[in-house]
Structure 1
Amino acid sequence: MATEYDLVILGGGTGGYVAAIRASQLGLKNSSCRKKKSSAEHVFIKAASRLKRCSEVQKFIKPSNAQLILVLRQEALPCNLPMCRKEKTEIVEKLAGGVKHLMKQGKIDVYEGIGRILGPSIFSPMPGTVSVEMANGEENEMLIPKQVIIATGSRPRVLPGLEADGTHILTSDDALELPELPQSMLIVGGGVIGIEWASMLNDFGVNVTVLEFADRILPTEDHDISKEMEKLLSKKGITFVTNAKVLPDSVEKQENLVTIQAEKDGDIQTFEAEKLLLSVGRVPNIEGIGLENTDIQTEKQGIVVNEHYQTKESHIYAIGDVIGGLQLAHVASHEGMIAVEHMAGKDPKPLDETLVSKCVYSHPETASVGLTEQTAKSRGFEVKIGKFPFMAIGKALVYGGV
């Protein structure tokens, strides 16, 4: 059976469901196609955030009076991994249920399955008809939209020769499902995800070593932020090795041990830990969605779009991680709203990525907006720098740690 829509969205993550709700508000009949488990995928980061919060509490009470710790533990304070994982699951289910309610309220049809874009067919002279392979095994659904949004997200990147196995070598997704904490962890990659995991695991008492290819951690942040973060986390016991080129072919696995070598300054060094976490970025999910049936162009970071997120097929849009750029939930949401408003005939203002706020959920956290000092100088701006110490801020003193 074929059903006609004004808009069909491939993907049920943050960008996808926000686009669907905005389309409903503008009077567009729309539907969302998503994998069966993706009803909770858009809140997956909340799971990591909850674990991170638990780790902060754990670290906060560690040096406290022993009697206080005992009292806090008797009050079931979430200071252990099993409890944190239980709360993580409850939060994910609660938020996913909220999104499901919003979709129902907006009269948005949700198809649980894998959507694939077809080429010109009896349904349409243009590419864009979507065939949905239903997750429950029922006959494929055929959707005939006037417009399409691709919002299929991304997945953790792996290094050739260093593929994740879920046991010894992990992705960030695997790490969220660890049944118990390892004694030690090697983290390959000192970007945002790597630093967030390093900080959290360290707070939980895990011995952490970070191997970073660049000459500093958080290489996309301002140099001062990178320098200060490395200093603070090093004081907490995290080991950082920068300018380290990991050699995937050198990896060796034993029952509770992973060994790998890295080249630094011309020397080969060997590192070992109970587990290894890959934190080397993310890749767009563009396979298996029918792009070959269209004229849509792709490049290394994902699908090529214009300022309104149109692909080369002007009736097909793409948003979120699948187009690369700033891979942030609030960015995907905003891109989704711009795309929907554009297809509805409005004139939305294009997103200025230099005005997007960013943060690193480490402990301590960092936050930034605008150009870094280095980028500003490279664009010809005259830069003035102002600094103010946390030691002079009352709230910082109340919270401690400065």
Structure 2
Amino acid sequence: MSTYDVVILGGGPGGYNAAIRAGQLGLKAACVEGRATLGGTCLNVGCMPSKALLHASELYDAAMGGEFANLGIEVKPSLNLAQMMKQKDESVTGLTKGIEFLFRKNKVDWIKGWGHIDGPGKVTVTDSAGGKTELSAKDIIIATGSEPTPLPGVDIDNQRILDSTGALSLKEVPKHLVVIGAGVIGLELGSVWRRLGAQVTVVEFLDRICPGVDVEAGKTLQRSLGKQGFSFKLGSKVTSATTSANGVQLRVEPAAGGEAELIEADYVLVAIGRRPYTQGLGLENVGLATDKRGMLENKGHRTQAPGVWVIGDVTSGPMLAHKAEDEAMACVEQIVGKAGEVNYELIPSVIYTKPELASVGKTEEQLKAEGRAYKVGKFPFTANSRAKINHETEGFAKVLADERTDEILSVHLVGPSVSEMIGEYCVAMEFSASAEDIALTCHPHPTRSEALRQAAMNVEGMATQM
């Protein structure tokens, strides 16, 4: 039996960051991961490969759709899908190898296989050949992540009916792709294949896209995607799917009840969310049980079992890689006696479509429901100089500030590169900044970031740019 200070189950953003931080703090750490590569869903079949395809498909669409021609760039592009997938895979490989390097640098052991908790401080790892390795540790961190949520009546085979992993590796561009679920994953992967030439229909149970985001921001994004060729069937549910050699026939009904219709597609992407990966971990051996969603409770990243911690998608909070990373560092710092903590009020969220949608803090609807008195400052990208000359004027910046103190309560951005700009407000809000603080801060001209300042200025009706 190998003995460690801490054993981490899972090598995704939560697990590998926990392992690296443990090594940095002088702990003897082991990370248990059964995939052939480190990085979990995010690096292997999630965040990273999807962004590689979003970037490539956006450039292809710009060349094909007339944007290049409008700029005076005359090209006749052709799609080499195999090369597009190859560069995506090469990028992912580089990232996963980078984590292996950081493990070696920080003296972290990667135990290849699947971990099972046998009791307090005891983990058995089973590798792909069936071999077993026994580990002991003072502390165990569960960071096993999540998996796609299945949809009853629609069986995923990753041939015609795909999950997010299958949608990242298609060998051809769909003629008609139906996306079930209008959340982040569905809209991003739908954007990839729409840009490459597919007809895309999104079926969503609710009467709006992007559940949980600011309603005004969500409606703005939906209008933009509609202009790009997305078709939306909101307030609808898929009740069955029949596959054939060449496609899928879906039965779609109104969510509120009513007459069904049949939709034909050659591929279907099921993207209704993700569920925690907590089955088969041996939780019962340390007296732990999940809720009906499969999640583990935590209090300051601790479970009810002494010496067992939990971070990332397997516990409460948004299923986001950067949330898991924050929890990883805070968790390990608590293990060594430091005061690690996560500010859950300031975890940003991003949808990497075009335009992008990024936000931090509560939605306007949540503030209204709380009875919080607030002021609104908005600024459209149509009035931003850099956005105008780049022909990317859809969207806006919206700042919500406390009516009495002017403290920034939340920010909602729809527009070009807003994923790179939301961090400014995350920092500002961490220091309890006021809208006036941003309004008085000089921003470079001409940049898209000026819209952030102008929105803050407009909290008091003082925007100056056009």
1:69 positional shift: 4.9
CA contact (8 A) 1:297 1:311 kept: no
Does structure 2 conserve the Cα–Cα contact (< 8 Å) formed by 1:258 and 1:273? yes
**Equivalent-residue separation in structure 1 for 2:124 and 2:356 (angstroms):** 44
Q: Deviations over 1:120-170 (max 9, x none)?
A: xxxxxxx23000112344x41110100000111111111122120111110
Number of the residue aligned with 2:91: 91
Distance, in Å, in 1 between the alignment partners of 2:244 and 2:222 is 31
Matched, 1:70 2:75: yes
The offset of 1:38, in angstroms, is: 4.0
Find the counterpart in structure 2 of residue 47 from structure 1. Answer: 49
Q: Deviations 1:18-55 (Å, cap 9, x if unpaired)? A: 00111111111110110132424341321110000011
User: Closer, same or farther in 2 for the Cα pair 1:71/1:190, shift >3 Å?
Assistant: closer
Per the TM alignment, residue 203 of structure 1 is displaced from its structure 2 partner at its CA by 1.2
Work out the CA distance in 2 between the residues paired with 1:377 and 1:348. 32
1:154 is aligned with what amino acid? S
Q: Does 1:133 align with 2:129?
A: no
Equivalent residue letter for 1:297: A
Is 1:355 the equivalent of 2:343? Answer: no
Q: How many residues align?
A: 385
Alpha carbons 2:298, 2:315 under 8 Å: kept: no
2:162 maps to a residue whose letter is L
Deviates more, 1:317-326 or 1:230-239: 317-326
Matched ranges for 1:299-338 at <5 A: 299-338=291-330
CA contact (8 A) 2:13 2:39 kept: no
Are positions 1:182 and 2:177 aligned together? no
Cα distance between partner residues in 1 of 2:316 and 2:148: 13
Distance 2:348 2:69 in 1: 38
Structure 1 contact 151–319 (Cα < 8 Å) conserved: yes
Unaligned ranges ≥5, structure 2 = 394-466
Q: Distance in 1 between matches of 2:96 and 2:275?
A: 24
Judged with a 3 Å threshold, the aligned counterparts in structure 2 of structure 1 residues 296 and 38 are, in CA distance, closer, same or farther, namely farther
Maintained 8 Å contact 2:296/2:314? no
1:235 alignment partner AA: K
Match of 1:262 in 2: 252
Q: Identity of counterpart residues, as a percentage?
A: 38
Q: How far has the Cα of 1:325 moved from its partner? A: 2.0
- Secondary structure of 1:298 counterpart: coil
Query: Which letter does structure 1 place at the counterpart of 2:101?
Result: H
- 1:85-137: per-residue Cα shift (whole Å, max 9, x none)? 10111011111111100000111111111111002xxxxxxx23000112344
Runs of 4+ in 1 over 3 A off after TM superposition: 64-73, 300-303
Offset of residue 246 of structure 1:
1.6
Match 2:362 to one of 371, 376, 382: 371
Greater displacement, 233-242 / 254-263:
254-263
CA contact (8 A) 2:348 2:358 kept: yes
Q: Which amino acid aligns with 2:358?
A: A
Amino acid at match of 2:346: L
Normalising by structure 1, report the TM-score: 0.92
Distance 1:95 1:24, change over 3 A: same
- For 1:357 and 1:155, locate their aligned partners in 2 and report how far apart those are by CA, in whole Å: 22
TM-superposed deviation, 1:342 = 1.0
User: What is the distance in 2 between the residues matched to 1:228 and 1:70?
Assistant: 31
SS in 2 for 1:387: strand
Shift of 1:345: 1.3
Residues 283-342 of structure 1: CA distance to partner in whole angstroms, max 9, x if unpaired?
111112111212113113443333421111031011111114211111101111111111
Deviation at 1:397, TM superposition (A): 1.6
Which residue in 1 is equivalent to 2:137?
145
**Contact 1:301–1:323 (CA under 8 A) maintained in structure 2:** no
User: Which residues of 2 match residues 2-401 of structure 1 at below 5 A?
Assistant: 2-41=1-40, 42-44=42-44, 45-62=47-64, 63=66, 64-65=68-69, 68-70=73-75, 79-119=79-119, 127-137=120-130, 139-248=131-240, 251-264=241-254, 266-349=258-341, 351-401=342-392
Aligned-residue Cα RMSD (Å) equals 1.8
Q: Structure 1: how far apart are the matches of 2:352 and 2:340?
A: 31
Flag structure 1 segments of 5+ consecutive residues without an equivalent: 74-78, 120-126
Higher relative contact order (CA 8 A, sep 6+): 1
**CA-CA distance at 1:398 after TM superposition:** 2.9
Partners of 1:253 and 1:293 lie apart in 2 by 42
